[in-house]
């Protein structure tokens, strides 16, 4: 997994590259995603195999950092909470289940 880092100011300035997908956060805190999406790891609400152009991740606008693994993605929100999306066979999403998700879920147990 790529380490979470705080985004720099500027459109598409926080580009995090993973093995299979790309995530970026605009200056406004709105995340965009593109690339391989076999497990729903882009968080765009559907599972096309590939998202060929950047698409806004729906439902969030206060993202300050992103970390992407090969099958899941984590989003650090401005209030300190963490959301996750994608493959969850081994509990990668941190929500107490092994159910994958194409929409962001809350990571539980963090304080």
What is the per-residue pLDDT across 26-84, written as a single tens digit (0 to 9) for each?
Answer: 567 888 888 889 999 999 998 888 888 888 888 888 888 888 888 999 999 989 999 99
Q: What is the pLDDT of residue 106?
A: 95
Q: CA–CA separation, 71 vs 81, rounded Å?
A: 20
**β-pairing verdict for 82-86 and 21-25:** unpaired
Q: What is the pTM of this model?
A: 0.76
Angle at Cα 63 formed by Cα 59 and Cα 69, nearest 5°? 95
């Amino acid at each position: 997994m790529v380490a979470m880092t705080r985004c720099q100011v500027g459109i598409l300035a926080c580009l995090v590259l993973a093995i299979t997908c790309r995530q970026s956060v605009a200056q406004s805190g709105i995340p965009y995603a593109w690339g391989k999406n076999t497990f729903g790891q882009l968080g765009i609400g559907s599972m096309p195999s590939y998202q060929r152009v950047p698409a806004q991740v729906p439902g969030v606008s206060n993202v300050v950092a992103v970390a992407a693994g090969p099958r899941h993605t984590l989003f650090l929100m401005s209030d300190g909470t963490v959301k996750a999306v994608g493959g969850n066979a081994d509990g990668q999403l941190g929500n107490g289940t092994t159910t994958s998700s194409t929409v962001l879920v809350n990571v539980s147990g963090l304080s």
